[in-house]
Every structure is written in C-alpha cells, then in structure tokens.
Amino acid sequence: MSRAVLMKLVMSFYRKRALKLLIPVAVLGIVYWEAKHELKNMNLGETFRYLRHLHGGVITELAGFALLSVAAMSAYDFVLRRHFRLGLTASQAFRFGWIANTFNNVMGFAGVTGAGLRVFLYRSGEVSASTAAAAIVFLSPAMITGLSLLAWSGIFGLLPVSAFEEGHRTLLLAVWGLALYLPFFVALQRSSWVAKRFNRNGERTPWTTAGALIGASFLEWFLAGVTFWLICGRLVHNVPFAEALGIFTVAAIAGLISMAPGGIGAFDLTALLGLQLLGVQPDEALAVLVLYRLFYYLLPWAVGLALAAFEIGLNRKRVQQWAVPAWDNVWTGWQKIWRYPGQLGFLGDIGAWALGKLVMLSGLLLLLSAATPGLLHRMRFMEHVLSLPVMRLSHELSAIVGIMLLVLSRGISLRIRRAYRLALVLLPAGAAFTFAKGFDVEEAIFVIVVTLLLWISSARFYRISAPFSLRTALYVMAITAAAAAGYYALGVHAHSGGLRHLPEPIRQRLFAEPHEFAVTAAAGLLGSWVVLLALAALRKDRGVAPLPDAEELERLKRFLQRAGAQGNLLTHTLFLGDKSLYWAAGGELLIPYARARNKLVVLGDPIGPPERAGEAIREFKQFADRYALHVVFYQASPKLLSVYHEHGYRFFKLGEEALVPLNTFTLTGKSNAALRSVKNRFVRDGFRFEVVEPPHGEALMAQLKEISDRWLDGRKEKGFSLGWFEPRYLQLAPIALLIDPQGDTIAFVSLMPCYDGGNTNSIDLMRHLPDTPNGTMDFLFVSLLEWSKEHGYGRFNMGMAPLSSVGQSESALREEKAARFVYHYGGHWYGFEGLRRYKDKFDPHWEPRFLAYPATVPLPVLTVELVALIARKARGSS
C-alpha cells in the first residue's frame, strides 16, 4: 500500500474527529448569536468582587448542597444494583457512582464517560463482564429522561420559560425536541427487544424499574437545578424558583445538544442570556455561573479524583481484555456509537490520571488566586505578619509555580518518577506562597491535600520517562502560553474593575499593578519552559532501543545455533543490525524490535520456546511501560494469537505468506506445463542456475552490487522486515545466481536461513538486471524450489502477499473492509492481486500474518508509522 493511500486514510481518521467538533461549535455559535447583545456589558472585575465578598457560611451552605445533589446521582447505581443483582455493597455502589458521575459531569456527554467508568469500576468490584456491559447499555438511554421530564414541565407552564419566547425561539425548539424523548424511552423499555437482551428470563422491564430509572434521572437534573437556584438566590435575591429552574432546563438542553464536555459554553451562554432577560446584571449573572461550575462540577470532581486515585488497585483489570458478551450485536453497536473504550484510554491508569488532574487543578487554582484581588482585611492582616515585599514576591511566585504545575501534571498522569519528585517540591511551595500573598487559606488547604494524596501514592510513580516529541513540546508550550495570557488578562480586568471602590493609596500599596501581572506571566512562562526543556533533555528513554553491537550479534548467532532453536521466517534479518534485541525469560527467548514514535514494534513472534512466549510478552510489556511506550507485534503468526489475545491485543490481518510444501512440488502434470516450458527454454538457451556458499569473493559482491543498483534505479532500500544490500549481511548465507550463456550474472537471490532445524528455506533479496528475458523470475523460483527439495528442506517461503484474503467476510472489521477495497483497486500503487496470482502458480500453502496492537492505539495512525518504519533509511545501506 502506498504512503499516499495511507495518508488519505489517516486524514480521513482525523477528519472524522474534526467533524465531531462541528456540532458543539455550531450550537455555541447559535447561542452566542442569540445572546451577544446581553453579554457585551459583563465586567470580570465586578464579577470577582461579588465572589470574593461571599460570606463563609454562604459558601459552606452552597458547597454542601451541591455535594448532596451529586451524591443523589448514585441512585442510578442502586437501581442497577437491584435490577442486575450486581453483588456490590451499598458503599461500593455509592463510591462508584460518585466517581462515574463527577467525571461525566466534567468530561462526558449523555453519560458516555460515566458509563465507561462504571464498567471499569464494576469489574473491579468482581461484576462479570457481560453483566457490567449490559448494565451500562441499559442505563445510557435513561440518563436524560429526567431532563426530558423537566422539558415537559416547561412546555406545560409549570416551569416558565417565557424569558426565551421573544426573539429566542430556536432554544424553545430544542426544548420540544428533548421532551419527545421521554415517551420514546418508555416505549423502548417496554419493548420485547430490550426484554430479550437485558432482562432476566426475557421479561419486559418492570414499570417499577423503568420508573426508578426515570426517577433517578429526574432527581439528578432537579437537584442540579435547585443548586443553580440557590446560587442565584444568594447572589441576586430576586430570581423566583420556577423561573430559575426554567432557565436551567433550557440551558441544560442547549449544553446537551452541543455535545461539549459538561455542556460547557452552550449551557453557560444560555443561562447568562436567561438571567439577563430576567433583569439580572451581567456581572452578577456571570458570578452565578462561576459559582455553579465551581460547586456543582469542580468541587465534586476533585473529590471524585481523590476517590479514583485510590479506588483502582495496581492489579486492575483492563477494559479491553474483557470478554465480549453473548449479545455482542448490541455491545458492538454501543461501541461504534461512542467509540468505547478507545476514547477512554485513561481508564487503565485512572489512579495516576486522577492525580495528574488534581495537580493541574492546583496549578489553575494558584493562577486564579493570584489573578483575582484578595480580601482587603486579610491582606491588611498579612501586612502586619509579613512585610509587603514578601507578600508581593509570594504573589508572583505562586503564579509562577501554578504555571509550572500545569507542565508537571502531564508527567504525573504518565507516572513519571522525576515529575512526581518535582511536584512534591512545587506543591508545598505553591501552598506557602498563596498563603503568604494574602492569607488565602482555602487555596492553600486544597494544594496541601493534593500534596498529601500525591505523597502517599509514591508507589504509582515507577516510570523512568515518557516519549517526548516536537508535537508534545508545542502542545505543552501552547497550554502554558494560554494559561499565562489568561492570568494576565484576568488579573488586569479583575483588578481594574474589582478595586475601583478602593482609595488609590490602598490599591497601590496592597495590590499589583498591570505591568506586574505581565512580568509575572512572562516569568512563569519562562520558568515552565525551562522545566519542560529540562525534562526533555534529561529524559532517559533515548537508550530504550539500542542497536546491537558485534558482541550482541555474536550472542544472537550462538543463540540460534544451539540445539532446539526455534526461529521464524524473519529471524535472519536480525543480523542486519537495525533491530534492537530484548532477551526475556532469563535469556531463553528473544524479542527483536524497533522504535516508532511512542511504540516498540516487535518483528514477528518472540523467538524461543512457544510455551514461554506469554511470559516473554508480559516481561517486554513491563519494560516498555517503564517508558510509557506501547508494544505492537508486526507479522505475528497464527500459532500465538491466543497468547496475544490474553494480553489484550486486537488484530488486523496484514496478508498471507506463501509457503510451498516441497514434498509435493513437481513440474509434471498439465497444471505446471507453463513453468516446465519456461525452465526448458532457459536451459535450452544456455542459462545456468547456481548456488554459491559463503564466503563470497569481492569480485562477485561488486558484480551483485551493480545488479542491485540498476534494479533499484534510484529507489531507496527499505528495512525492518526486509533485507537490503549489505555486504556483511550477504556473507552470512548462500546466494543463488542466474548466469546467461556468456557467463555473466544477470540476476541473484540471497537465501535466508529460518533456524527451524533446516525445515524451511526462504528468499531474501531478489534482484535482476532491467533487460533480463521474460520468465526470468519463473525460472529462478523453479530452480530454487528444486534445489531446496534436493537439499532436504521441507518447505520454501516465497514471501508475503500483502492484504491477501483480508476483509472478505461480511462481519469483518471496518478497517479490513477498507483494506480489501485497496487490495482490489490499488493496483496503480502496488500490484496486490497480481502478486497473489503470481505466487499461486507454485501451489503454496497460504499462512496468515497479523498486526497485533493495543485497543487504545488508532489503527490508521499506527499503519502510517509502520510504513515510515519500513521505509526508514537502513543504517549501513549503500
């Protein structure tokens, strides 16, 4: 397959991902267009002044009710626990529900993230794979029924949505659309289709269970609306309950349709529009939304992150390793809709991932605290305890530490030990600085709690390093630049608007000036980039794929020559020296590999006793995991597919290898008349086939080099799974020559030992001059087969036919069906069908070859990386 075709496939893959952004962006654009006149007068400074002056008792009340509202969402899990008899304790159901629901609030749409986490958590609670999967598919459609019920309340006037009736009817259409979902859900639950697939004994879903699901969903959305109303009441004081709940309902529907995580953007703009249409001031409306996001989303999520960090043990079961349920048509359909579990790749490392996000939240909290004005009475108190220069310095350092923590959060999620150690230094420093700058006790306590959680999780951070590319560097630099710019912009606006009521002398003495925010942002950005540069320069993954030296190649030779050595069709290419060698199981097995970006690509199966292959694969995966690298097996054979499957691998069929059984090969018979005719013609015309044993003389090597160069005609040699013209390598095996009547060599084939006790012979390089007679390749193959048969070989390997017999079944993977299309119509780039037909003339046995890859690795991207690996300029090639 050509690189052009592969690039088209990859671009198609990324276009699909880009298209998923269009709906959120379109909905956000519509809402903004509806609300732009009402939103233009907001002042961030005034907003933060409202927030800073909230009484501690009010904050406790709002935070407490928000946490209670989130706790009520665990009703879903109690319904599932009863309906499916899950075997979970009440405590487990509550904890699992809290983690899943808070993650879904922040990151998910319509229950997707929550559903995936439930499967993972239920499995850790010893719930069977089929039951856990059935539960999430059963639950997913129910999670928006409560919002649909609220939509009906708005339509019937119980929740007034009159604020949107004038000039904003687009939003009301969305309310009608979601309201119609409730009767559809009820009909679905009572259908025989659901009964056969999800209910015990094939019975229809009881009205009590369907009602309980709707009730749990209504409780979730209603209490979220009440939280929204309580925050309005504490900040605005003049928003009636029904009006607030109506605004919340319309905003929640807009957020749901947007498909954005947590409905962010669409929900907020719609709620701001609704509040301002009721006469609420823009700054107060924005303060309501900030508090709602903080108390209902971020605070419970922080608790969920802390729970998740310790809920999953080190010996966790991975989602992609679970058996597919008997009703796989439903499960497969669910996976195709949500791209599960591929889009939730963090599940396997959820504990460290959660800690990374807590570190990120700590950094953002330090930045937000530094950017917004402190309380005047606290700052005056700290002025008496510390000197003003120390407070100013602490203010700047807390912002710098905040930006640095954003850089380190990725390393924490990846379990990197050095990032962990540095975070344990920066987090307490950040807590001390934010406390010293203005007695910000709340921020300091949060950061200290995160520090303690990190400290007691030391065992999780075992990785030496992680892949680091230019793309990663640019991404992190962009994030930190955006954070620094946001800090500066927020600081200038918040101080200019929120401190206007203070006398000028107090402002100048206690609070930062705009230019100070610019200096701090620049220093923080510079410091974070220095940290990033240090992590990149000092990373220890550069030696993860060392090429073998002469001593290592000698060890390889001894390993393959010992009694009972079990090599494969690709083993001889290891002597090219372009593959790294990993000795597993105490040196009993060998895994050859090369690095391709963040993957270690193994060539073929592990070499050695098949009964110990599982042990070797596990050991090698642990080695790769220390560097946050994926392990991929290229050209895996069928005999070890069950072993790969046990280690969580998916498979893509690469093609088939043509293996000619020599005991049945003959040129007699009508079917082989064409081959017999070619051989007779070449012999009659004076051509001669000869096999020369090593060592090969310099004159012969020079002649073969000329043939190879003319055959290449300027094309680059390929590597990894293919041999190339390397004199040192060619000296290790016999070479078959085709000599013309004048005594000149016009073609050659290098042979390749397979280290299987002399049973298999194989071709390696096959080169000829451009003007050789028709039938040259036929004569060479016939001669090689006869020579191998005479010398006691049992079979002959004629090489692989790429994409042969791939994607033929109706139920084949989508990617394999696409490969089948390329096989049939890709002859312009590569003669797939022609190559298969040519090798079929020799009546071979076709043995499949597979690509074994982790479920979280996108296949189109992996395919391009493999093509680049094979096309990589071979070291030492001439």
Question: Which residues, including other chains, have CB under 8 Å from residue 744's CB and lie 6 or more apart?
Answer: none
Q: What is the pLDDT of residue 195?
A: 59
pLDDT over 50 at 13, yes or no: no
Domains and CATH numbers, the chain: 1-341 (no CATH), 349-538 (no CATH), 550-653 (3.40.630), 658-849 (3.40.630.30)
Mean pLDDT of the chain, nearest integer = 78
Identify the DSSP state of 457: T
Of the candidates 112, 92, 103, the residue with the CA atom closest to the CA atom of residue 70: 103
Q: What is the pLDDT of residue 9?
A: 47
SS3 of the chain: helix, strand, coil, percent, to 5: 65, 10, 25
Sequence-ordered alpha helix ranges (H) in 439-513: 441-455, 470-498, 504-510
The string of DSSP letters for 58-86 reads: HHHHHHHHHHHHHHHTTHHHHHHHHHTT-
Dihedral sign (CA 863, 869, 872, 874): negative
If one counts every other C-beta atom within 10 angstroms of the C-beta of residue 502, the result is 14
Average pLDDT of the residues in 618-643: 92
Angle made by CA atoms 855, 860, 864, in degrees to the nearest 5: 120
- pLDDT level of residue 67 (50, 70, 90 thresholds): very high
Does the pLDDT at position 580 exceed 70? yes
Whole-number pLDDT of residue 161: 72
- Give the separation between CA 365 and CA 347, rounded to whole angstroms: 25
The winner for highest mean pLDDT among 287-301, 465-479, 491-505, 527-541 is 287-301
pLDDT of residue 518: 80
Write down the pLDDT at residue 336. Answer: 45
**pLDDT number for residue 810:** 60
pLDDT at 509: 47
Under 8 Å between Cβ of 232 and 271: no
**Cβ pair 329, 193 in contact under 8 A:** no
Strand spans (E) along 638-732: 649-661, 688-692
* Global pTM value: 0.70
Give the pLDDT confidence score for residue 329 in this predicted structure.
45
Q: Is 358 in contact with 301 (CB distance < 8 Å)?
A: no
- Asked if residue 10 has pLDDT above 50, the reply is no
What is the model's pLDDT at position 268?
82
For residue 833, pLDDT over 90 is answered with no
Q: Which two tokens stand for residue 826?
A: 């890709």
Residue 332: predicted pLDDT: 47
Most confident of 317-321, 373-377, 379-383, 703-707: 703-707
At residue 37, the pLDDT reads 53
Distance CA 771, CA 59 (A): 87
Q: What is residue 718's DSSP assignment?
A: P
What pLDDT, in 10s, does the model give residues 644-684?
999 989 888 888 899 999 998 888 888 788 888 999 999 99
**What is the spatial distance between Cα 857 and Cα 13, in angstroms, rounded to a whole number?**
13
- 172-204 confidence digits (pLDDT tens): 777 888 888 888 887 777 666 665 655 555 566
- Whether 94 shows a pLDDT value over 60: the answer reads yes
- The pLDDT value given to residue 689: 93
* Residue tagged 């079917």 (tokens): 671
Average pLDDT in the 489-505 region? 61
pLDDT band at 496 (very low <50, low <70, confident <90, very high): low
Q: What is the pLDDT of residue 45?
A: 52
Q: What is the pLDDT of residues 410-451, one digit of tens each?
A: 888 888 888 899 999 999 999 998 888 777 777 888 899 889
Query: Residue 9 and residue 681: Cα distance in Å, rounded?
Result: 46
- The conformation of residue 202, written as its DSSP 8-state character, comes to G
Report d(CA 576, CA 390) in Å as an integer.
63
Cα separation, 611 vs 613, whole angstroms: 6
Q: What is the mean pLDDT of residues 801-822?
A: 63
3-state SS record for 535-593 = HHHCCCCCCCCCCCCHHHHHHHHHHHHCCCCCCCCCHHHHHHCCCEEEEEHHHCEEEEE
Residues with Cβ within 8 Å of residue 370, at least 6 apart in sequence: 395, 396, 398, 399, 402, 434, 437, 487, 491, 520
pLDDT > 70 in the chain, percent: 75
Contacts of 158-165 with CB under 8 Å at 24 or more apart are 158/242, 159/242, 159/245, 159/246, 159/249, 160/242, 160/243, 160/246, 161/246, 161/247, 161/249, 161/250, 162/246, 163/243, 163/246, 163/247, 163/274, 163/277, 163/278, 164/250, 164/273, 164/274, 164/277
Helix (H), strand (E), coil (C) string for 789-823: HHCCCCEEEEEEEECCCCCCCCCCCHHHHHHHHHH
pLDDT higher than 80, residue 54: no
**Does the pLDDT value for residue 330 go beyond 80?**
no
- pLDDT, residue 335, reads 44
CB 724 within 8 A of CB 765: yes
* H or E segment and range at residue 681: helix 673-684
Tokens for 476? Answer: 């992190």
Classify residue 187 by burial, with Cβ atoms within 10 Å: 0-12, 13-18, 19+. exposed
Name the residue with higher pLDDT: 316 or 85.
85
Phi and psi based region of residue 171 (left: phi greater than 0; alpha: psi -120 to 50; beta: remaining): alpha
CB 38 within 8 A of CB 273: yes
pLDDT of residue 256 exceeding 60 = yes
601 φ, ψ (degrees, to nearest 5):
-100, 115
Higher pLDDT, 547 or 824: 547
* 60-64, 142-146, 756-760, 799-803, range with the lowest pLDDT: 799-803
Instruction: Say which DSSP state 529 is in.
Output: H
pLDDT attached to residue 167: 54
Of 323-327, 391-395, 523-527, 716-720, the range with the lowest mean pLDDT is 323-327
Least confident of 331-340, 374-383, 463-472, 835-844: 331-340
Q: How far is CA 388 from the centre of its chain?
A: 47
The terminus-to-terminus CA distance of the chain in angstroms comes to 25
Burial class (CB in 10 A: 0-12, 13-18, 19+), 281: middle
Rounded distance between C-alpha atoms, residue 359 and residue 152, angstroms: 42
* Local structure of residue 441 (DSSP, 8 states): H
Instruction: Tell whether the model's pLDDT for residue 687 goes beyond 90.
Output: yes
Token pair listed for 821: 């299309």
CA distances from 666 to 760, 763, 791 (A): 17, 19, 15
- For 722-758, how does the pLDDT look when each residue is reduced to its tens digit (9 = 90+)? 888 999 999 999 999 999 999 899 999 999 988 888 8
Distance CA 139, CA 648 (A): 26
